A = this chain, B = another copy of it.
């Protein structure tokens, strides 16, 4: 049951106010309510406002509103019982009367719009029944509900006397807390004013795309690589130049002239390589020589299992690197919290671009995160969730090895929340069919081929990106077992 509130003026005429029991007004109220019920906007049982509230809203007298309600009750549109508010009677809604929109919108769209419209629509599918290996999802059970609620409530209560637009770079408290965190956790030394809080890393990528790329400008894209990064840069008009990755990460000896390079040096997405020290130096030298910007996406830097943390590129070349951090892998992708560490000379530019884009990131989440960082609760949470994901990873690796033995090769398991599973006995052109068979069996399985440059070749064998952070041990075991059956049947 919802409460009804009527648009006061649905006939587009002025309503005379201040007349007691005005017949014209009452007639218009009756017509407006009837119209909305016929249109299916209101369902049986929806409550109307009190006559007092309705009268105040319409600028009519209560007598008039009471008369209108009485008429509608008499006509059978409303029902009422003593002491209760009038509500919509049952059996009146005509779903066929719902508005059918026309389809003749402006066709003069921008080149940006044309590029965006050309991207393939993302697949829409029901969640798989048994186990979904979709990368990027987290387990809701890992979210620190109590600490977050406490921090959020504290933020809601500690407001000043005015609600006003904040600094486009984000709250001072959060940027200070992030400065300390980045130094402690990643060795990055920066000023809080180098930090721009963004709505998740995707907004950070989009800002970089807009600030560094003109239509036709080349950008370096890891191949394979992160599709939504590629799309953000393509949408800005950039021309992707695919550079292959191998066991040492991006092949820096094959870097072309470009304005921007998008890289995931700590844990190449999706293949998992760590960019080697010599290639880090080569990449930085390239950026300085080209006067280009490196966009360093440290999307899962908090998760390392067998290796020491990798010092970010930002440390080597603070003036040529935009470091992209995210809370989507440690807290939740639904909070849309990320941050950039930008070259000091570009502080004002990024701030102003962020301001034009959406003023600033919502404050409540920022303040809650600042609180968690300041209290140490965030780092405790990261240690706990890192341990849990290490366990998930161990189970997945064990199960895959037990189920497939040497028929599967695992890549990129040293850090992060996903692996790539290569099936050398299955040709890559059968990836989609295998994923469909898996889905029919209740398993969400995601081929690696779509992450390769669309203009180039893909590997000969089938590979799948397998995220494990949202799955509990039972689901991991169930998922791999079901997958094994699918592959046997698949032949």
Q: CB-CB < 8 A to A59: which residues of B? A: 308
Tell whether, in the assembled complex, residue B109 and residue A212 are in contact, meaning their CB atoms are under 8 Å apart.
yes
Shortest CB distance A299–B (Å): 13
Tell whether, in the assembled complex, residue A189 and residue B143 are in contact, meaning their CB atoms are under 8 Å apart.
no
**A152 beta carbon closer than 8 Å to chain B:** yes
Q: CB-CB < 8 A to A9: which residues of B? A: 187, 308-309, 311
**A336 beta carbon closer than 8 Å to chain B:** yes
Tell whether, in the assembled complex, residue B203 and residue A357 are in contact, meaning their CB atoms are under 8 Å apart.
yes
Contact-residue bracket for chain A: 35 or more
Tell whether, in the assembled complex, residue A349 and residue B184 are in contact, meaning their CB atoms are under 8 Å apart.
no
Copies of this subunit: 2
Tell whether, in the assembled complex, residue A101 and residue B344 are in contact, meaning their CB atoms are under 8 Å apart.
yes
CB closest chain-B residue, reference A184:
B5
Q: CB-CB < 8 A to A132: which residues of B? A: 162
Contacts A14-B308, A228-B356 given: A107-B291 contact, CB under 8 Å? yes
Q: CB-CB < 8 A to A345: which residues of B? A: 103-105
Q: Type the 1/0 row for A192-212, where 1 means its CB is closer than 8 Å to any CB of B.
A: 001000111011001000111
Interface segment among A114-122, A417-425, A445-453, A481-489: the answer is A114-122
Q: Return 6 A-B CB contacts under 8 Å, by A number.
A: A105-B346, A106-B346, A132-B162, A140-B163, A149-B153, A336-B360
Using a CB–CB cutoff of 8 Å, the interface residues on chain A facing chain B are: 2-10, 12, 14-15, 36, 39, 41, 53, 56-57, 59, 99, 101-113, 116-117, 119, 121-122, 127, 132, 134, 136-141, 143, 145, 148-149, 152-153, 156-157, 159-166, 180-181, 183-187, 189-191, 194, 198-200, 202-203, 206, 210-214, 217, 228, 231-232, 235-236, 259, 277, 287, 291-293, 308-309, 311, 318-320, 332-337, 343-346, 348-349, 352-353, 355-365, 374-376, 379, 383, 470
